[in-house]
Amino acid sequence: MGRASRRGLAVLCSASALILLYWAGSGGRAVWEPAQFRVVRHKDLDPVTPDNNVAMRSTEGGQTPGQQPDQSQGGTARARVLLVSYMRSGSTFTGDIFQASPQVFYLYEPLIYVNDDDYMAPTERSAKNRLIPIAFGIPHPPEIHNYTLDTLNCGFTDHNLRFLYALTYSQSTTEFDQCQKKLGVKPSNFGECGERLRERCVQSKAVVSKILRLKMWEVERLLREDPELRVIHLVRDPRGVYISRRAARYYFGDAPFCARFNADAAKSAELQAKYPGRILTTRYEDLATNPLGIAKLLFNFGGIPWTEEVQTTLVSMTSNADVQTTEHVFSTKRKNSSLTATSWRQKIAFENSWKLQKLCSSAMELYGYVPFQTDQELRDLNIASFTRDYSHVFFKAQIER
């Protein structure tokens, strides 16, 4: 059991919960290797004009992505970025990209306590609410919107701190973990350790929070309530998600997954018009093709300075097979991340691919994932599984290829 899970021990009293949460927490083992590190110019983000960003066209007066947060409207100088994704879609790697900047305060899955019916088997779901901890004796878990906004705003309290999870997966929360262990993990000791965590957060330039448990309809309220919040919506080909979850022995109910994936895509498209430039759709496959190029776009979108230091860290993170920047993240076996992103094509049964293509069709079409009509097409890597460009309803992190 990993170090991060030990904090879970102090909080939870059920062994099954521990196993469950441990699996959840270690879920993002990423598969990255140096791909083609071209220096990219990108049309989409810098600067934004109506001509090169169709998603901005329909609404006037929206915020321009890549700008620093607007302080004149009563905001703070600290950017807030929510990374919304799905289990086995590259979110841990993306989170670690942000961690490459010392100016970023990073939270790893602060909503871990919320039941994720997207990867938990139906029998494990609580029908009434999505909260796990009630079952394990933790009283009054924070409400999810409240908690998400509070933590994005460094609003840590003795009560809500106990719901932070996988503390050692983030450099920002590791010190808090150590402090607690020194003093003894109990809420009465949160004061001193929590104060230092708060300070660290307050002094950062941006708070980035990776969350797999928020659906896009839930994100809408956050966009409304925090006018400066930016959302990165990281998506991956469902057929790849399926193979990756199967390898990791996660539950994959294709119908529930596709229901969520489709609903999120539709909702995201709707939110694009309502909150222009505040949601950045990012495909895992683009990230795999050019990690550095996409990383720059993500920083730009989040209003986080891209420095030499960040670039150097990311290059070593993705290119040196012996360096593991975080405990669990980088698999070093893969030779070619573009290949890794499409390795599911050798592993998936045609029937499963076919079924997912049907169930997830509306989202797949919006994101430019190509359905295969025959087994031969599926295996033929000369036929791309994702289009270069995709739906213009989205504001996208894309690179010129």
Binding interface with ligand NAG (CB under 6 A): 35-36, 146, 149-150, 336, 338-339, 381
Specify the amino acid at residue 206: A
| Separation of alpha carbons 252 and 109, rounded Å | 20
Minimum CB distance to ligand NAG, residue 291 (Å): 12
Minimum CB distance to ligand NAG, residue 318 (Å): 12
Minimum CB distance to ligand NAG, residue 149 (Å): 4
Helix (H) or strand (E) holding 282: strand 279-283
For 336-339, the CB contacts below 8 A with 24+ separation are: 336/33, 336/35, 337/31, 337/32, 337/33, 337/34, 337/35, 337/288, 337/289, 337/291, 338/35, 338/36, 338/288, 338/289
Kindly write down the DSSP assignment for every residue of 323-359, as one continuous string. Answer: --SSSS-B----S-HHHHHTTHHHHS-HHHHHHHHHH
Q: Where do runs of H (alpha helix) occur along 153-253?
A: 171-183, 190-202, 216-225, 238-247
Minimum CB distance to ligand NAG, residue 338 (Å): 4
Q: Output the six-digit token pair for 81.
A: 């970025």
Give the residue among 173, 114, 154, 110 at the shortest CA–CA distance from 326: 173
| Separation of alpha carbons 370 and 383, rounded Å | 9
Minimum CB distance to ligand NAG, residue 337 (Å): 8
Q: Which is nearer to ligand NAG, 52 or 76 (CB)?
A: 76
Kindly write down the DSSP assignment for every residue of 2-47, as one continuous string. Answer: -HHHHHHHHH---HHHHHHHHHHHTTT-B------------TTTSS
| Separation of alpha carbons 169 and 108, rounded Å | 7
Q: Which is nearer to ligand NAG, 150 or 175 (CB)?
A: 150
Q: Output the six-digit token pair for 17.
A: 């919960």
Is there a contact between 110 and 140 (Cβ–Cβ < 8 Å)?
Answer: no
Minimum CB distance to ligand NAG, residue 150 (Å): 5
Minimum CB distance to ligand NAG, residue 54 (Å): 28
Q: Which is nearer to ligand NAG, 153 or 362 (CB)?
A: 153
Q: Which is nearer to ligand NAG, 86 or 386 (CB)?
A: 386
Minimum CB distance to ligand NAG, residue 20 (Å): 26
Q: Which is nearer to ligand NAG, 192 or 380 (CB)?
A: 380
Q: What angle do CA 308, 309, 311 make, to 5 degrees?
A: 65
| Separation of alpha carbons 247 and 54, rounded Å | 38
> 108 - beta bridge partners?
210
Q: Which is nearer to ligand NAG, 283 or 328 (CB)?
A: 283
| Separation of alpha carbons 294 and 80, rounded Å | 19
Minimum CB distance to ligand NAG, residue 132 (Å): 20
Q: Which is nearer to ligand NAG, 148 or 173 (CB)?
A: 148
Give the residue among 161, 110, 108, 113 at the shortest CA–CA distance from 137: 113
Minimum CB distance to ligand NAG, residue 9 (Å): 27
Q: Which is nearer to ligand NAG, 159 or 392 (CB)?
A: 159
